[in-house]
Amino acid sequence: MKNIIVLLSIFYGICLIVNAFSQQKPDAEKPQAHFHKLNIDSLKRARLTEMKRKGKERAETLSHQTDQTAKYLNISYAGLTEIPEFIYEYENLEKLNLAHNQIKRLPKKLNNLTKLKSISLANNQLNKHKIKFQKLKHIKVLYLFDNDLVKLPRSINKLKNLEEINISSNSFNKIPMRLRKLKKLKILKINDNYLAIQGQKLHKLRSLQQLRMNKCSIKNLPDNLWELKNLTELQLSGNIIEEIPAGIKALENLESLSLYNNKIKALPIEFYELKALKTLDIYFNELEKISPDIEKMQNLEVLYMSNNKLFSLPESIGSLSNLKRLYLHHNRLSEIPASIKDLDHLEVLHINKNYFSAFPSQILGLKSLVDLDISDNEIVSIPNGLDKLNHLQLFFFQNNPVNPNDVENKHLAAMVRNLRNNGAKVNYNSYDQSIDLEDQ
């Protein structure tokens, strides 16, 4: 009896320890996560310290340099509070990087650099009241991102030849319409600002060819956005867009469109009239299907459709004869159309993290394939013949219940060896950890 009590006491004690451990486990993980974050933060600080050290050294070296024929100067991370005088001695200067300093004002003498075409003042301490532009006739590129700007000064209109401006990561709540007077402006980057663009006369920015409004909390797209018919690139990633208006079809010259990480549930039929598109990124949305009208997009070369809710693809996708990269991972697909085999130029196919229970045999017809990822599915057998795809360099099939000892996989070890002998990287693991293809 005594022995039984002792055993019960020991068992009870073990239970208490296990219970205490299980309750503390989340908290026990926090110090690890916290340590990891501290480690990353310390590395960032160390890297920043090193960049500042090198920046100050560069500035010191340049201030004593006798050869002043340089066309490019990098004086970033130099701890500057104003533009140093020695810069004006570089009369041939075309590109000037003053990013990551503490500069608050732009001196009139900057106008003396008559050949200056590009200047970066990113991550300084500029604001509307302390920044005035002179008649810098040759300036084509201006970087002002990561400052304290709420508005652009009127003097911005003096930069008559400006072609590109980056005003991301400031405090704009609207697109500065003073830019409409810059008739040569082609590229506007205004990412990471909280923008309310409804009601703005965006159509007056008609010279724009590239517009980037990523992470701007945009929910609705105004109709006059589609009047920017010279656009070849439009980026709207990281917003809260739920619906794409039919008017988008008016962007007939659009070659690159990013709608990454929004809340789009469906694409209007007019969307597929964007026939000039070469790159389409609709990653991280809530799409369940793609229209067969995608066959109209014959110029598509890169198609990102991962991290949606797609459960099927139209057969017409096989008619995209120029398609080179197709990303379909993290969806709900259990099969792909037979027509996939007709994509003669396809180099990348990622269908990992889906619901495939069988290897899509049509993949064996993709003669240009370089990168194939079928990992994290329920595929039990890999067919023979992948080593006959002469361009294949990457093949990932880990986290599938593939048993090399099964009859249907008897060729697998030899095929993997052939692929590796041909220079391919093959990544796999078996659900049965005792099985190793290297031993087959």
Task: Judge whether 405 lies within some domain.
Answer: no
The CA-based dihedral angle spanning residues 81, 84, 90, 91, taken in that order and rounded to the nearest 10 degrees: 90
Where in 98-185 does DSSP place strands (E)?
Answer: 118-120, 141-143, 164-166
Q: Which residues are CB-contacts of 190 (< 8 A; sequence separation ≥ 6)?
A: 167, 168, 172, 175, 212, 213, 216
Q: Is the dihedral of CA 32, 33, 38, 41 positive or negative?
A: positive
Q: What is the per-residue DSSP string for 192-223? A: SS----TT--GGG-TT-SEEE-TTS------G
The CB-based long-range contact list for 22-28 (8 Å cut-off, 24+ gap) reads none
Is the pLDDT at 365 greater than 50, yes or no?
Answer: yes
Choose between 25 and 226: higher pLDDT: 226
In angstroms, rounded to a whole number, what is the distance separating the alpha carbons of residues 285 and 261? 6
pLDDT of 36 reads: 60
Task: Judge whether 82 lies within some domain.
Answer: yes
Q: Which residue has the tokens 């609705």?
A: 220
pLDDT of 33 reads: 58
Task: Dump pLDDT digits (tens) for 261-287.
Answer: 999 999 999 999 999 999 999 999 999
Is the pLDDT at 257 greater than 90, yes or no?
Answer: yes
Task: Dump pLDDT digits (tens) for 378-436.
Answer: 999 999 999 999 999 999 999 999 998 999 999 999 999 999 999 999 998 755 444 45
Is the pLDDT at 53 greater than 70, yes or no?
Answer: yes
What CATH number is given to the structural domain containing 136? 3.80.10.10
φ, ψ (nearest 5 deg) of residue 76: -80, 160
In angstroms, rounded to a whole number, what is the distance separating the alpha carbons of residues 300 and 274? 10
Q: Which residues are CB-contacts of 121 (< 8 A; sequence separation ≥ 6)?
A: 98, 99, 103, 106, 142, 143, 144, 147
63: confidence class by pLDDT, cuts 50, 70, 90: confident
- What letter represents residue 413's amino acid? A
pLDDT of 35 reads: 55
Number of domains the chain is built from: 1
CA-closest candidate to residue 284, choices 208, 214, 384: 214
Neighbouring C-beta atoms of residue 414, cutoff 10 Å: 13
- Burial-class residue 190 by CB neighbours within 10 Å (0-12, 13-18, 19+): buried
Q: Which residue has the tokens 């597929």?
A: 272
CB-based contact 327:351 (threshold 8 Å):
no
Structure tokens that stand for 93 in this block: 């200067």
Average pLDDT, the chain: 89
In angstroms, rounded to a whole number, what is the distance separating the alpha carbons of residues 283 and 104? 39
Task: Dump pLDDT digits (tens) for 8-47.
Answer: 444 444 443 334 444 443 444 445 555 565 676 778 888 8
CA-closest candidate to residue 396, choices 352, 345, 359, 341: 352
Q: Which residues are CB-contacts of 437 (< 8 A; sequence separation ≥ 6)?
A: 404, 412, 413, 416, 428, 430
pLDDT of 11 reads: 43
% of the chain at pLDDT higher than 70? 88
The secondary structure element, H or E, covering residue 181 is none
In angstroms, rounded to a whole number, what is the distance separating the alpha carbons of residues 188 and 99? 18
pLDDT of 38 reads: 60
pLDDT of 430 reads: 53
Domain that holds residue 106: 42-193
In angstroms, rounded to a whole number, what is the distance separating the alpha carbons of residues 165 and 156? 11
Task: Judge whether 152 lies within some domain.
Answer: yes
pLDDT of 126 reads: 87
How confident is the model over 115-130, as a mean pLDDT?
A: 87
Where in 185-307 does DSSP place strands (E)?
Answer: 187-189, 210-212, 233-235, 256-258, 279-281, 302-304
In angstroms, rounded to a whole number, what is the distance separating the alpha carbons of residues 320 and 298? 5
The CB-based long-range contact list for 372-381 (8 Å cut-off, 24+ gap) reads 372/396, 373/329, 373/349, 373/397, 374/400, 375/399, 375/400, 375/427, 376/352, 376/400, 377/351, 377/352, 377/353, 380/406, 380/408, 381/406, 381/408, 381/409
Task: Judge whether 58 lies within some domain.
Answer: yes
The secondary structure element, H or E, covering residue 280 is strand 279-281
CB-based contact 107:84 (threshold 8 Å):
no
In angstroms, rounded to a whole number, what is the distance separating the alpha carbons of residues 294 and 319? 9
- Enter the pTM of the model: 0.87
